[in-house]
Structure 1
Amino acid sequence: MEASARGRVRRGRRRARDAGSRLSGPAVLLVLSAFLVRAPPSVGYLIRLPRGFHLSQDLVKIVGSTNFPVRVYVMLHQRSPHVLCATQQLRNEELIDPSYQWHGPRGKIVSVENSSIQVTSTGSLVFQNFEEAMSGVYTCFLEYKPTVEEVVKNLQLKYLVYAYREPHYYYQFTARYHAAPCNSIYNISFEKKLLQILSKLVLDLSCEISLLKSECHRVKMQRAGLQNELFFTFSVSSLDTEKGPKPCKDPNCESSKRLSKAKNLIERFFNQQVEVLGKRAEPLPEIYYIEGTLQMVWINRCFPGYGMNALIHPKCPECCVICSPGSYNPRDGIQCLQCNNSLVYGAKACL
């Protein structure tokens, strides 16, 4: 049995080299920083900014189209760019006696005194601390004269404004251990101890470990007999560091950076188990990690009321965009589900 186990360990080393290449793809995603994207005016606009970065009023200005509504994506709890009551052509022309009026969702007139939504003297719409309830259709009515001699012209521009959030992603790991008989209490005790160790590893990074599944199976080995194996599936996700009495504003507090460090610690922990087993002169213990069986996948998820859809939102394909009326997301999935009874943005239930 000992010889069979050592053979399994050697075979695992070959799998470890293969597994290493599979982990490189998701790891590359972690080094991508937040960025600012400006789309063509006729398609839509996505505003993505690094945490703690304050958007300048003149950094991005969005123009409308007379052909169809322009989509605008604003990160939740952030300030929006200036949404102009003008097309690209009118923006570069002189307007005589321009008059602007904005109507928000349900046709309500946007008041100049509104503290959360501002209309500038030149007719631009600016959202302060964008909230879910601000999502919807915004229409600007413009009256102006091209020249003093000409008659007044009227223009109507529509914008579809959506709140969006970054995905709440996590890593999912699977690992296999040589185990005691499947009905043994030693397996249960080992499982609890393993979770305690993993949780302690990532505690200082404000990350948490969750056991998703633990199963014991009897496995027929190649050219060998049966052996018991534990199949562990667990996840590591980041906790919210922006809440609490002392919110963390340091760039190192970003979820992607903390998760990357947690992933590295977990991989190192399993590699160290292999090194310790390789140096043992004594027979292998009854429960030990099978080298090369650690696998990892990167999983995106959206908060309830938000979802991803590259077809509907091609300029924000990896964003969790608020669910439009007629759809909802009740859980941490990645899609807004159809619901004809849903009449609001960000629905979390189909009533």
Structure 2
Amino acid sequence: FTAWALKQQKVVSQQQVGVITSSFMSFTLFSCVAVNVYVKVFTDSPLLVCMDLSLSQEEIIDPKYLWIGPDGKNLEGQTYANLTETGKLMLMGFKESMSGAYTCTLSHRIIETMTQEEVDVFETYKFMLYVNPFAPGWEEVCQQVPYDCEDATNMKVQEARNRIGEFFSRQTYALKHDFSVTHVDSCRPGFGKNDITHQNCAGCCVVCEPGTYSPNNEVICHVCTRPHVKKYGAKFC
């Protein structure tokens, strides 16, 4: 699927650029609302669009795109970054270390209707990407599965539950409602759940953010007492 950016507000400043023509060039900066995107480990991210949905319906003049990764470096030329001519970004083979903020600046030109002046517009969009595995042992298993590993595993668990239930239902001594399945909630080390920070993915095991850690299979990312952890997915402080 495709992840679209959100836009919140704008700040406009102007400066004169020509004495003969008396034309003006406006620099318009849009502050952005970060869009959370959750990517399953070892898979490719959805397409991140350097544009909001409303702007995509308009004709864009002379667009230029600049993508910056969590480390502050330009993503152009990076082997794991697939950049299209239309400014879309796909991150290949997503790993824990690739989590973080991805920012895109779109520059393009517009013609003011009233003054017919040429205006340069700069718009900024931000995506927060988090890796999302689903259970201990996924490293070995998922690399051998050519399709969606999580869906395949959940299907196998459901199939096993149904077979066990059928077995007990055939036993003459089994009483009604004797068989039940208890869900055990856990995340692998370095991951946790947070229904406040990640409201649109409350049940997901999301990589612990910098400054937090998870040493075991609990679902909580603990806050480090000393701010030494600056990476995603820390298992200890």
Paired amino acid for 1:91: S
Paired amino acid for 2:42: H
Percent identity between the two aligned chains: 31
Q: CA distance change for structure 1 residues 238 and 348 in 2, over 3 Å: closer, same or farther?
A: closer
Corresponding residue for 2:73?
108
- Structure ID, larger Rg: 1
Cα distance between partner residues in 2 of 1:250 and 1:74: 12
Asked if 1:296 corresponds to 2:181, the answer is yes
8 A contact 2:70–2:100 mirrored in 1: yes
* Unpaired stretches in structure 2, ≥5 consecutive residues: 8-30
The counterpart of 1:325, out of the listed 194, 210, 215, is: 210
Cα distance between partner residues in 2 of 1:110 and 1:126: 11
Deviation at 1:301, TM superposition (A): 1.4
Q: Look up the SS of the partner of 2:154 in the other structure.
A: helix
Q: Look up the SS of the partner of 1:334 in the other structure.
A: coil
Asked if 1:314 corresponds to 2:199, the answer is yes
Asked if 1:154 corresponds to 2:100, the answer is no
The counterpart of 2:36, out of the listed 71, 82, 85, is: 71
Q: CA distance change for structure 1 residues 240 and 103 in 2, over 3 Å: closer, same or farther?
A: closer
Q: Look up the SS of the partner of 1:151 in the other structure.
A: strand
Cα distance between partner residues in 2 of 1:92 and 1:313: 29
8 A contact 1:62–1:81 mirrored in 2: no
Deviation at 1:158, TM superposition (A): 1.8
Q: Look up the SS of the partner of 2:54 in the other structure.
A: helix
Asked if 1:119 corresponds to 2:61, the answer is no
8 A contact 1:301–1:334 mirrored in 2: yes
* Unpaired stretches in structure 1, ≥5 consecutive residues: 1-58, 170-236, 279-288
Paired amino acid for 1:86: M
Corresponding residue for 2:96?
132
8 A contact 2:5–2:126 mirrored in 1: no
Question: Larger helix proportion, structure 1 or 2?
Answer: 1
Cα distance between partner residues in 2 of 1:81 and 1:255: 22
Cα distance between partner residues in 2 of 1:269 and 1:328: 42
Q: CA distance change for structure 1 residues 262 and 322 in 2, over 3 Å: closer, same or farther?
A: same
Task: Write out aligned runs for 1:264-279 (5 A).
Answer: 264-267=162-165, 275=172
Cα deviation code 1:73-93 (max 9, x no counterpart):
222222222211112332222
Deviation at 1:265, TM superposition (A): 4.2
Corresponding residue for 1:12?
none
Cα distance between partner residues in 1 of 2:213 and 2:128: 18
Kindly tell me the number of residue pairs found equivalent between the two proteins.
207
TM-score, normalised with respect to structure 2? 0.74
Cα distance between partner residues in 2 of 1:104 and 1:262: 42
8 A contact 1:64–1:85 mirrored in 2: no
Cα distance between partner residues in 2 of 1:300 and 1:312: 18
Task: Write out aligned runs for 1:1-351 (5 A).
Answer: 59-65=1-7, 66-111=31-76, 113-147=77-111, 149-166=117-134, 168=135, 241-242=141-142, 247=145, 254-267=152-165, 275=172, 296-339=181-224, 340-350=227-237
Q: Look up the SS of the partner of 1:298 in the other structure.
A: coil
Corresponding residue for 1:26?
none
Cα deviation code 1:6-55 (max 9, x no counterpart):
xxxxxxxxxxxxxxxxxxxxxxxxxxxxxxxxxxxxxxxxxxxxxxxxxx
Cα distance between partner residues in 1 of 2:129 and 2:142: 25
Cα distance between partner residues in 2 of 1:150 and 1:114: 34
Q: Look up the SS of the partner of 2:187 in the other structure.
A: coil
Cα distance between partner residues in 2 of 1:257 and 1:83: 29
Q: CA distance change for structure 1 residues 325 and 241 in 2, over 3 Å: closer, same or farther?
A: closer
8 A contact 1:94–1:146 mirrored in 2: no
8 A contact 2:64–2:107 mirrored in 1: yes
Cα deviation code 1:141-188 (max 9, x no counterpart):
22211138412122222221111123x39xxxxxxxxxxxxxxxxxxx
Q: CA distance change for structure 1 residues 317 and 346 in 2, over 3 Å: closer, same or farther?
A: same
Q: Look up the SS of the partner of 2:45 in the other structure.
A: coil
